[in-house]
Structure 1
Amino acid sequence: MQITKLSIIVPVRNVEQEISGVLRSIAAQAAGLEAEFIVVDMGSADRTVWEAVQLIKELKLRGFVIQNGDGTVAAALNTGIQKSGGDYLTFIFARRLYRDFISGYLETAARTSADFVFGSISEEESHAAERRLISRAIRQESGAQYLKSILNDAIHIDISAIMLRRKFLLDRQIYFFDSCSHGYAEEFVFRCLLSAETIAQSPTIIKRDTVYELKRGKQKSIGKNIFQHTDAMLRIFDMIKAARRDDAELIQLFEHQKLPLTVMNGIDVMLKEGAGYNAVRGYLRVAGYDKLLSTGRQTDKALKRRITVWRTIPWMYKAK
């Protein structure tokens, strides 16, 4: 029976021309590792599935292709989790591809038995992470502390470059929100952080793979669906209030920084796509999102200015 240390989950749709480079890039990273490749197709209308099957055979990879129907990326990732068999798993996205991180993350996971592993974005972070590993003084900050650091822009965690212990996800029943197309990744990361017992930063410095990364822009307008991101953050806020009700700092950061920022970013998307100011303001009022534009001590000055201009002289507001 083959041992699988890592499941590599790759959601794809209509990437017939790019799938070869993406899979070859990942295969090079995973060379010599006990890894399986799970390509989940989301209703491609081109030859993506055929190309993926042929490449798995050509590169002699352990893995398979799943046709998941014309659904969301979140649904495809859930299918990948359910079909995975590795001790750990990672997600690879063609539009945000990183190189040379898999083996380093696996080494960190082996040394720490962490539920959640993420990388470093600078030499300074990398050296600090290595010192913690050598001394075995794994940073025992809670997930709430990590979340505060993210909200304060002190650390950056990208779902395209994380590694998760599969048993942790299954035991805690952590999945993506199937019907969500915007904000599903951030919600998943936040939910994992708030639930994980051990979180480890790998010394591995993450770098984008600009050679094989998909460079095509978005194919259609987003419209009001962008506020699915706000709904996702509201679900996390409910989780925080239930599980971290004594953490006033985190609650205020989320209420007065993260939620209003997410709403304002949604406003920017609608305005850039051509929606009128009155139409956007009317939608926010009806949906109740305007009530989330509250500020406090935790709100940064730039966001306060954006909210003030939007509320008082919306025709002067310039989308970021």
Structure 2
Amino acid sequence: LPDFDPYNPATQSEAQRLNRATYGNYELGSVFKVFTLASAIEADVVRLDEMIDVSKPIRVGGHKISDYKRYEDQINPRDILRRSSNIGASKLALRVGSEAQEGFLRDLRLLSPSTVEIQETSTPEYPARWGKASTATISYGYGVAASPLQIANAFSTMVNGGVFRPATLVRQPKGQPLTTGHRVISEQTSATMRDMLEYVVREGTGRFAAAEGYRVGGKTGTANIARGGGYNEDARRATFLGAFPINDPKYTLLVMVENPDPEAQEYTYGYATGGWVAAPAFRRIVERAAPMLGLEPQPDPEDGDALASR
């Protein structure tokens, strides 16, 4: 929504006129691990019960890849997503390979302009040479920059049963099929991703996105912002990208906060990350919007299991 008076154009700055949802290109950090996990599972290069060594940093093409904090020495794919392990994501992406990774993101239309019916659309940015180093960094969200609409559209594919359908602003005539699409992942892989994304919210970095009465699944992202040929360690972009209700997704929502002030809200305890800044905003939006969208609150399945076991 515009943060200026559209009836008084003289008050608009160039930055305010920018439609960030469709015209801005952004690297969203660990949100991209959703695509990394899905591509690895779909390519059958990892088993869900397989343990991946994340005990120490790795080097790929001169880049040192490490995790925000130390985890167990070995974790499975679900925990790579839940704990947001850069090392684990990189290792899975390297198994998939550069060519297949590029093809997967191309199938999600993350490397070409959006076809949404407005003029203000951007062309995504990605490496001219897609080698091993790019494959590793793209796995955790550095190296491909696209618009929030495109990234949300790609995420929807991960949870909707695996079919990419281009975003549209045109309501389909009653009785007409949805916009045509193409399959990117199988229904089984999509079901696995829904389970993993709900796990991230229940027990992982996205726990502050958990909405009262609604099942939510999603992924946090925290990225340093590119400045002057490098990345500014003091400038961050905090994101949460999720869907609700995750057991039968109806809506995808992306919350992005540019340069959050870690001291602005007492509840963030000085953290300026997707999990502490964007996830709580996602939760509040879902709790307010879901009833207006006609979504009835759902019982928590874990509560039902607990009652059944008593």
TM-score (norm 2): 0.29
More helix by share: 1
Larger radius of gyration: 1
